[in-house]
Amino acid sequence: METLLTVFFNVEIMKKVWPFLLQGLGMTVVLSLVVIPLGLAGGLGIAILSSLQRRWLNRVLIVYVDFFRAFPPLVLLIFIYFGFPFLQIDLPKFAAVALGFFLNTSSYFGEIFRAGFESIPRGQLEAARSTGLTRWQALVSVVIPQATRNVLPDLISNTLEVIKLTSLASVVALPELLNNARQAQALTYNATPVVLAALMYLLLLWPIVRLLSRLEHKSIALH
Amino acid sequence: MKQDLPPILELKGLVKSFGALQVLKGIDFSVQPGELAFIIGPSGSGKSTLLRCCNRLEEPDGGSVTVDGIDITAPGVDINRLRQKIGMVFQSFNLYPHMTALGNVTLALRKVQGMDKATADAKGRAALERVGLTDKADAYPNQLSGGQQQRVGIARSLALEPLIVLFDEPTSALDPELVGGVLKVMRELRESGMTMVVVSHEMAFARAAADRVVFMDQGQIVEQGPPEEVFGNPKHARLREFLATLADRH
Ligand SMILES: Nc1ncnc2c1ncn2[C@@H]1O[C@H](COP(=O)(O)OP(=O)(O)OP(=O)(O)O)[C@@H](O)[C@H]1O
Ligand SMILES: [Mg+2]
């Protein structure tokens, strides 16, 4: 019992690594705040483009979405981070990580938004067009607000996945939460920093999980 | 109805195919200001496609569609501006469920005409008043009966002060007891001088309100004339058959 506490819940070590982990948490939050809005925007863009129903464009989009959903994000990250220098492209670490996550995340968000768009009866778009709205105006005023509401639980659930995904950035030593926790673990020969990081992840994600489950209950009640 | 004025709507040699299926086979059709033209015909004869070509929800393959003297199929026309003058009312209402009745009616005023909210709302309320729904301005579509929803659909067109309104089976999705309210609004609209093209199976309404009944079959206009002529003395065998099947159903 004594050893369990000193190895996993060592208060002395917690105090010592706390600022370092907090820095990591900060990086995790910043990375999420960059990747999630970009991924949402990219996903929405994919859905908008595929709603144009241009045959060639659609093929390109399908290939993009399928490819980046099938490609393991960890492998993608390693490819970009170690592959780009070979192409004489000098990408800062943060940008490389953000790019890798964007490619993965936008394809997932794209699928979700596309399902949302398809849930809106065609007639509404036609009604809007018949009153003179452009396709873009009809999308913005009629389709997107309803589509987003219809797939909100899926969007939030994917957002949750993206935040968890950011821990993969530790493989390229981006100083986010898991990376810093592992470093602290190695320096202190103690698992406490990782336990602390786990608690921080939980604290970060728990409100989102709560929100999600409330939304899901609400949508079950509605149906 | 003004016979001597140029037509509000004029179709010349209108052709439309879906793949190998030719749905409109050279339609010539014109509607005078203030006229109510009533289109009948069997399912699949091309009635909806005809209406949808009049505001280019479907792109015609050939021929011309002229609205108030402007060829709306000409290259470079601003179709979004022209569409505001061509109202359309749909069988399935197609209201925006996330907006109130007033929001539905004012959307185009705000987004297309750039009207400020107060002006648009005033105009929207006036349109809702014309369809007898003053007190439902703040209701959402799912709080309205089918008949009320369709009247909101009509108000959505009227708010833009169209030159002509196209109705595609406006009462077909309604429970029988709700049909009357919509037809009453259409009668009033007709009496106010609105130019209307109505696709419908409401033959009693056609007898009472239509200036002209047009019978379509297999992508062509087969016969047309005043309702008493078309219903009382049909010349073509296909029209007689069609009227007989309708009579059987009732
Ligand atoms: N978007 C489309 N793609 C392919 N075929 C179509 C399309 N729209 C209509 N059609 C076909 O064109 C023909 C005419 O259809 P249309 O809807 O104009 O007929 P309608 O006279 O309105 O019939 P109804 O009384 O059933 O509404 C039908 O055979 C229909 O299947
Ligand atoms: Mg039809």
CB atoms within 10 A of CB A5: 11
Which parts of chain B register pLDDT below 50? none
Q: Give chain A's domain count.
A: 1
Per-residue pLDDT at B250: 61
Task: Take atom 18 of ligand 1 and give the residue whose Cα is closest.
Answer: B46
The shortest C-alpha distance from A54 to chain B (Å) reads 16
- Interval between CA B185 and ligand 1 midpoint (Å): 27
Confidence of residue A84 (pLDDT cuts 50, 70, 90): confident
pLDDT tens per residue, range B204-244: 999 999 999 999 999 999 999 999 999 999 999 999 999 99
- Angle of helix B117-130 relative to helix B101-111, nearest 10 degrees, comes to 130
pLDDT level of residue A86 (50, 70, 90 thresholds): confident
Nearest-Cα distance to chain A for B100, in Å, is: 13
Contact A133 B112 (CB under 8 A): yes
Q: What is the B214 CA–ligand 2 centroid distance (Å)? A: 15
A137/B112 touch (CB, cutoff 8 Å), yes or no: yes
CB A160 within 8 A of CB A208: yes
| pLDDT above 80: residue A14 | yes
ipTM above 0.90, yes or no: yes
Put simply, the answer to whether B92 touches A123 (Cβ < 8 Å) is yes
Whole-prediction pTM: 0.90
CA B38 to chain centre: 9
Residue A9 sits in a domain of what CATH number? 1.10.3720.10
Pairwise CB contact (< 8 Å): B83 & A137: no
Residues 6 or more apart whose Cβ sits within 8 Å of residue A48: A139
pLDDT of A2 > 80? The answer is no
Query: Most B CBs within 10 Å: which of A129, A131, A137, as the mutation test of the B interface?
Result: A131
pLDDT at res. A218: 79
Tens digit of pLDDT for each residue in A125-184? 999 999 999 999 999 999 999 999 999 999 999 999 999 999 999 988 889 999 999 999
State which of B14, B24, B39, B47 you would mutate to test the pocket of ligand 1, scoring each by most atoms of that ligand within 8 A of its C-beta.
B47
Q: Is A161 on the interface with B (CB under 8 A)?
A: no
- Alpha-carbon distance B231 to nearest alpha carbon in chain A (angstroms): 32
**Reported confidence tier of residue A88, pLDDT bands at 50, 70, 90:** confident
Answer yes or no: is the C-beta of B45 below 6 A from any ligand 1 atom.
yes
Question: Per residue in A90-100, pLDDT tens?
Answer: 889 999 999 99
Please enumerate in sequence order all residues whose Cβ is within 8 A of that of B121, keeping only pairs 6 or more positions apart, or say none.
B102, B106
Residue nearest to atom 6 of ligand 1 (CA): B18
Confidence of residue A109 (pLDDT cuts 50, 70, 90): very high
Query: d(Cα B43, Cα B47) in Å, to the nearest integer?
Result: 8
Helix (H, G, I), strand (E, B) or coil at B216: strand
Q: Nearest residue of A to residue B159 by CA position?
A: A131
Whether residue A223 has pLDDT greater than 60: no
* Euclidean distance between CA atoms B107 and B96, whole angstroms: 10
- What range defines the domain where residue A73 resides? 2-222
